[in-house]
Chain A
Amino acid sequence: MSAPMFDVAVVGGGVMGATTALMLARGGLRTVILDRGPLCREASGVNAGTLTLHMTRASLIPYAVRGHELWLSADQWLGRGVAAVSTEGLSLAFTPAEEEMLHARAAARREYGAPIEIVPASRARAVEPGLSDQVRLAAYCPIDGFASSYLTGRAYREALVEAGAVVREGAAVIGVDSGDGGFSLRIAGAEPVRARRLVLAGGVWLEEMLGWLGLRIPVKCLINQLVVTERLRPVMRTVLSVANGLLSLKQFANGTVLIGGGWQGIGDPKRGGVQTIPENLIGNTRLARWVIPALAETRVARIWLGLEAETADAMPMIGAVPGVPDAFVIGSVHSGYTSGPYMGRLLADLILGREPERPLFDPSRLLEPQAAPALT
């Protein structure tokens, strides 16, 4: 008896892959999703959960706005929420140079529909009374929020199972062969999985995955540091960032404060996040304390590192894999957690033969010329 032929196999169980798989399964395709670990335990489960427009790449604002809506309504369409909260957001300037940057960045994001306005420090402190008195200027956005990203895996797992998708956690795909009108995925220590269509959604591992199909698209790996404090009395209510994008700060309902912003640690796709760089930890926490002085009262409870994928032009790749029929790729979305559910829907629409409501991001622009011959 030969192995069953799935309509589609999704490799990579983060938000992008899991949403795509969920929508495909709900669209009637016989779907399998594979991850070498548990679902949403890499970037999708360890990121800062920031649902902000202040840190989103300007041209991705329309996608992020839809993503924001989807996270806030996740209990309806996903079945289980991720403790998403809608609040306001402030981006702050502490120097004249940052004021300029704030103006320029707010204007660029406004152009793409973000309702961001520049406000004086006094207004910022009225919105967020715990703010430092060092703030010179702020950008205010009524659309902001945050989620508890560690809840993502459980929510998607239950939804996928409910939708009839086959969830293969702990199944490491190590290569892909073509034939029989489809793809055969080689799995470490297990029988191959066969499917007519293939979706690669492997985050920072996409470069290697695209290599299985003979394509070369470099994917840079950022090692983002995250810091969470112990519980603390309520000291803030909004999402805070700084003009240059190097801070994200929010306090969860349980009182813990999450400090992010993309300060770098040591790691790579092979080993994952390996080590915190002490200077970067101190820098990141100083910046947080500079913004909300009351953070001096608490203690750092835990530090970890999340891997983020970035293409050569720092824009996403979402769409058909060039030269390989029935193969698709999704990933490398800046602030990808925010817009992830929306991006997954768009790709699922493409695969299901529906017109996606917004343009995708053709990966062929990123192909390196010396690409090896396509899959044989």
Chain B
Amino acid sequence: MSLRIGHTVDRPGAVTITVDGTPVSAHPGESVAAALFAAGRRRLRESPRAGAPRGMFCLMGACQECVVIVGGRRVPACQTPVSEGLAVTTGVPW
């Protein structure tokens, strides 16, 4: 069942982003972090020292836990809007 709340807003038609090569559906206006969360892809990286799984946490660009690679650049997924064809790489291993 979707986490998206349906009765308050009309979202633009879905676009497809790819996450580690896998297509994920998302709506323009959503952040990459929220889109992945809604798609059940919560594990975004491993912590550098203990190798423990991590996912989005603060959602306001402070904690840096949701850093992914987009366009060759490290970005916080929560501050990055989705767009058609956006390629996201998770698992920033360092």
A and B touch in the complex (CB under 8 A): yes
Q: Which residues of A contact B72 (CB under 8 A)?
A: 296-297
- A254 near B74 with CB under 8 A, answer no
- In the bound assembly, the distance between CA atoms of A35 and B72 in angstroms comes to 46
Q: How many whole Å from B31's CB to the nearest CB in chain A?
A: 18
Q: Which residues of A contact B73 (CB under 8 A)?
A: 297
- B94 near A255 with CB under 8 A, answer yes
The tally of residues in A whose CB lies under 8 Å from a CB in B reads 10
Q: Which residues of B contact A297 (CB under 8 A)?
A: 72-74
Q: How many whole Å from B58's CB to the nearest CB in chain A?
A: 17
Q: How many whole Å from A231's CB to the nearest CB in chain B?
A: 4
- In the bound assembly, the distance between CA atoms of A230 and B93 in angstroms comes to 12
A299 within 8 A of B: yes
Q: Which residues of B contact A296 (CB under 8 A)?
A: 72
- A233 near B94 with CB under 8 A, answer yes
The tally of residues in B whose CB lies under 8 Å from a CB in A reads 7
- A233 near B93 with CB under 8 A, answer yes
- A255 near B74 with CB under 8 A, answer no
List the B residue with the shortest CB-CB distance to A232.
Answer: B94
Q: How many A-B residue pairs have CB under 8 A?
A: 17
B48 within 8 A of A: yes
Q: How many whole Å from A12's CB to the nearest CB in chain B?
A: 34
- In B36-94, the 8 Å CB interface with A consists of 48-49, 72-74, 93-94
- In the bound assembly, the distance between CA atoms of A299 and B48 in angstroms comes to 16
Q: Which residues of A contact B93 (CB under 8 A)?
A: 233
- In the bound assembly, the distance between CA atoms of A298 and B73 in angstroms comes to 7
Q: Which residues of B contact A254 (CB under 8 A)?
A: 48-49
Q: How many whole Å from A298's CB to the nearest CB in chain B?
A: 7
A287-301 to B contact mask, C-beta < 8 Å, 1/0: 000000000111100
- In A220-256, the 8 Å CB interface with B consists of 230-233, 254-255
Q: How many whole Å from B78's CB to the nearest CB in chain A?
A: 15
Q: How many whole Å from A250's CB to the nearest CB in chain B?
A: 16
- In the bound assembly, the distance between CA atoms of A299 and B92 in angstroms comes to 13
Q: How many whole Å from A223's CB to the nearest CB in chain B?
A: 28
A276-315 to B contact mask, C-beta < 8 Å, 1/0: 0000000000000000000011110000000000000000
List the B residue with the shortest CB-CB distance to A255.
Answer: B94
List the A residue with the shortest CB-CB distance to B67.
Answer: A230
- In A153-189, the 8 Å CB interface with B consists of none
Q: How many whole Å from B93's CB to the nearest CB in chain A?
A: 7
Q: How many whole Å from A32's CB to the nearest CB in chain B?
A: 37
Counting chain B CB atoms within 10 Å of each CB, the highest count among A230, A254, A255 belongs to A230
B16-48 to A contact mask, C-beta < 8 Å, 1/0: 000000000000000000000000000000001
Chain A interface residues toward B at CB < 8 A: 230-233, 254-255, 296-299
17 CB contacts below 8 A, A to B, read A230-B74, A230-B94, A231-B48, A231-B94, A232-B94, A233-B93, A233-B94, A254-B48, A254-B49, A255-B48, A255-B94, A296-B72, A297-B72, A297-B73, A297-B74, A298-B74, A299-B74
